Structure 1
Amino acid sequence: MIIGVLNQKGGVGKTTLSLNLASAYADEGRKVLLVDADPQGSSLRWSSARAEGLAPLFPVVGMAKPSISRELPVMAKDYDVVVVDGAPRVSELGRAAIMASDMVLMPVQPSPFDIWATEDTVQLIREAQHFKPSLIAAFAVNRKIANTAIGRDVLDAFAEADFPVLKAQVTQRVLYAESAMQGLSVVEVARYGDAAREIRKLAAEIRRFAGEERKAA
């Protein structure tokens, strides 16, 4: 399965979510590949920050080029799960990453501005589905502020959205930044902590969602 993590709005925690989801799947014993399709190369920099001698959980490769839509499906055959850290902004790279994916996960912060800003990404996915009807998509609430009304009400705000919102939500936590600085994930730093629990829950829901959507198709 190729999971493209994309949102044309920057600052939604796309890279953080990508690398931590990849880590959660690797921790389950799956063969995982993380693809950095963002010209900024944040996932590649995260990988290079890992301490020398500490074996990586999975390979990270750069593929910020339009040919990703052709090359990645071939490469993905050697892996159980491929997570794509996609490019922000409406661009040829974004379109190509969407076409390469089996599922597009759109991280959004629980803010009306972030919700409104998803329209361009949704449009790109709708266009891609004309050429790839099997493509599925969902929103994931990221960087939720705990115990706030806007965090609790975000599902209502998406009531009219084109795609479903996954129930598992990821809370804003300092641990995400602290672990990333070391080239690590929250699953590695605090295996049984709240952050790791949330990421595992989201990873499991993505698998279920993808399986259910494929059966429905």
Structure 2
Amino acid sequence: MNEPVLPAPPPATRRWLSALLALAVTVPLSMAPLLGNLEIPGFRALLSLFPRGLQDTALPLASLAMALVAVSVQFFSRDRFSGRKLTRAFIVLVAGLFLLLLVLAWRHNQTVVAMKVGPTGETASFVVAAQRSATCPCPAGSGDAECIQRLGLDGSRLPVCWDEREVRGNGFVLLLLYVLLMSGLGALVGLLVMTRTQPRPRARKPRGQ
């Protein structure tokens, strides 16, 4: 039995589909090393600082954010902006990205516990709350890393010692900072590209010619 042949989409729909796949699929795939979805020897993506559970959520969110940035760059590249406006936007965006990076580093230091585990020295990290609960079986003088080891490095047992709602809130803040930082980096490169694609103003002819 012959398989049914689907009719080809109209020309406008084919262009839409091609653009959608190029911007929403090809762009994130091309950024796999930067986003941390593809390991390259000698390079560690920012995502490697996050616990494994957050990485599984951060990757699709960051991929979609990068696709949105790519669509925006493609759309606004047709417009003409003055060099002064692009320079001002570039400076503001760079300052904002540095601020986001500092906030992310601070939040990571305050809410993520990382440790070497196993014979290979693999890094395991967990999101915790500011204080341990009174029902936590870990000794009061023990550190967070030691307490997590006492719990068997089992993330599902963390609510025994740390408030689950606060832990989820800390994880959400880390995700938000990561997505904003990566999409801001994409927008920064987009501004750099737009400065090179802006049409140069035509030289005015002297009067009398």
Who wins on radius of gyration, i.e. which is larger? 2
- Greater helix content: 2
Bin the TM-score by the shorter chain.
Answer: under 0.3
What TM-score do you get using the length of structure 2 for normalisation?
A: 0.24
